[in-house]
Amino acid sequence: MAGLDLARPFHPLRIAIATISDTRTLENDGSGATLEKRAREAGHTVASREIVRDDRAAIVAVLRKTLAREDVDVILTTGGTGVTGRDVTPEAFEDVCEKMIPGFGELFRWLSYASIGTSTIQSRATAGVAQGKYLFALPGSTGACIDGWDKILVFQLDSRYRPCNFAELLPRLQER
């Protein structure tokens, strides 16, 4: 049965958060603040939090810069996953990721359907692996970040979650 095995040790991860937006600042960024709060409450370390403009090259540059950091295990982005011309986060992820994790976006949209109905098809939430780290792209709304964290990431980033989780696979991501 799925759930936390409290007999196993918890291993905190180091998480970087980037909000993709041309209009938000750290002061009015509700979705980034939500992810930061939830990550800390779960016992993880937030290594950084920043705002990145809606520009594919800028997003790629920040992802690559963050991937090069030794103090980061996971990158969470919020914003830029819709279908408008300015929404280019999934394309930036494709430029950077070595492997995509399609199940993340599929599960996110399935779970999100309960909250927002068919509007969930407008989300291009995605995830991948690069340089031994996980990258997750969530929509820019606070509600979407709550759903993504509370229903998926809090479990998959917890080394105690059974039957399996992303956290326990971190040391093996660069195996060849």
The mean pLDDT value of the chain amounts to: 97
Mean pLDDT score, 124-136: 98
Peptide bond into 163 cis (omega under 30): yes
pLDDT in tens, 94-112: 999 999 999 999 999 999 9
Residue 175 domain-assigned (yes or no)? no
The domain of 111 spans 12-170
**pLDDT(135) > 90:** yes
Residue 1 domain-assigned (yes or no)? no
pLDDT in tens, 17-68: 999 999 999 999 999 999 999 999 999 999 999 999 999 999 999 999 999 9
Provide the CATH number for the domain around residue 147: 3.40.980.10
**pLDDT(176) > 90:** no
Q: Amino acid identity, residue 90?
A: P
- Number of domains within the chain: 1
Residue 5 domain-assigned (yes or no)? no
With pLDDT > 70 as the criterion, what percentage of the chain qualifies? 100
Residue 7 domain-assigned (yes or no)? no
Residue 41 domain-assigned (yes or no)? yes
State the Cα–Cα distance between residues 1 and 11, nearest whole angstrom.
Answer: 21
State the Cα–Cα distance between residues 94 and 83, nearest whole angstrom.
Answer: 16
Residue ranges with strand state E in 27-141: 45-52, 74-78, 99-100, 126-130, 133-138
